[in-house]
Chains A and B, each alone.
Chain A
Amino acid sequence: MYTSVLPSGKARPAISTASLPDIIFMLLFFFMMVTVLRDADLKVRVLTPEATQLTQLAEKSLVNYIYIGQPAPQFVGYYGSSPRIQLGDRIASVADIPFFLENHKQSLPEAMRSRITSSLRVDGAVTMGIVQEVKTALRKNGQLKVNYSTRKRNRDL
């Protein structure tokens, strides 16, 4: 059939791999677009709850993250097993929040500072006491835009 069209004795040419780099680069750029750099190593265990009324956070640089959860298994020896706060990449206490917020504020131009959002990534099993203390600290420092980080829920209640 097809082979008979070819002149006899001529080998079939190998598939050209010249465009392979382009395809891989395309994949690379795709992943660079849709992903973000891991900002901090989590020292606490956070599994955010699910919700439906979600808003997408827009600008990454205008967001600071506050994690609350039980310390990860390898840190339980140091920090105990009750929920702790993580700011940046270390375990902190409520008293460290003003400095943390100010630090983040200083890194931004003045015009954008009013748009800063605090993203609270809180484990679903944490009780409200520690969350309330963080909220109070945020309010006292004038950081009123808060985002409770959640996953999308698809099923009914």
Chain B
Amino acid sequence: MAKTKTRDRMNNEINAGSMADIAFLLLIFFLVTTTIAEDKGILVKLPPWSDEEPDITKLKERNVYSVLVNAQNQLLVREEPMRLANLRENAKEFISNPRRMENMSESPKNAIISLKNDRGTNYETYLAVYNELKGAYDELWDELAQKRYGEPYSDDMPYAQRKAIKTEIPMVLSEAEPTSFGEEQ
């Protein structure tokens, strides 16, 4: 091997010029193999399975807010057709019953929402309805939390406060076995 010149021996560091290229390769690899996390959704707790149908005939009629969605994605709320856009306000009024109406829930604690759909209902419609009903409760919780603690309802609140609000306005949403009149896809 040729003898290295004295001048060259001064800077025999590892050449870092290609480091950027290596990092670029890694970067592109990760860009291709990964997806941006978009794991959001409506969290639901399903009721445990039981072979007996729950008996809802014992409930007072004024406390039950029945929502039916048919295979044509139309809504029937307490025997009246309704548009999806009005569902949230209507449900809120039913649950909180601010004017103490005879035909609405006795108190938020007694209110029960009964949701029934058809096997031919679109999932999109079903989820939109569910979203509105959950939204009604979320807004009521927000209002109560604002009134009591001066801050909107959130998971960062102390557990005791959240529990107090949830006992005041418990979310009771019962889903009945769907009907099968409509055509499935």
Contacts and interface: CB of A to CB of B under 8 A. Distances in A.
Name the prevailing secondary structure of the B interface residues. mixed
Name the prevailing secondary structure of the A interface residues. mixed
Given A49-B123, A126-B185, A139-B49, A35 B36 contact: yes
Interface stretch (B13-21, B97-105, B162-170): B13-21
A25 to B, nearest CB: 5
B47 A51 contact: no
A11 interface: no
B135 A56 contact: no
B109 interface: no
Nearest to B182: A127
A37 B43 contact: no
Interface residues of B, number: 53
Contacts of A10: none
A52 B121 contact: no
Interface of B: 16-17, 19-20, 22-24, 26-27, 30-31, 33-49, 71, 84-85, 117-124, 126-128, 130-132, 134-135, 138, 178, 180, 182, 184-185
Enumerate the 8 nearest inter-chain pairs by beta-carbon distance, A residue then B residue, closest first. Answer: A124-B124, A35-B34, A129-B119, A21-B19, A24-B23, A57-B39, A139-B49, A51-B131
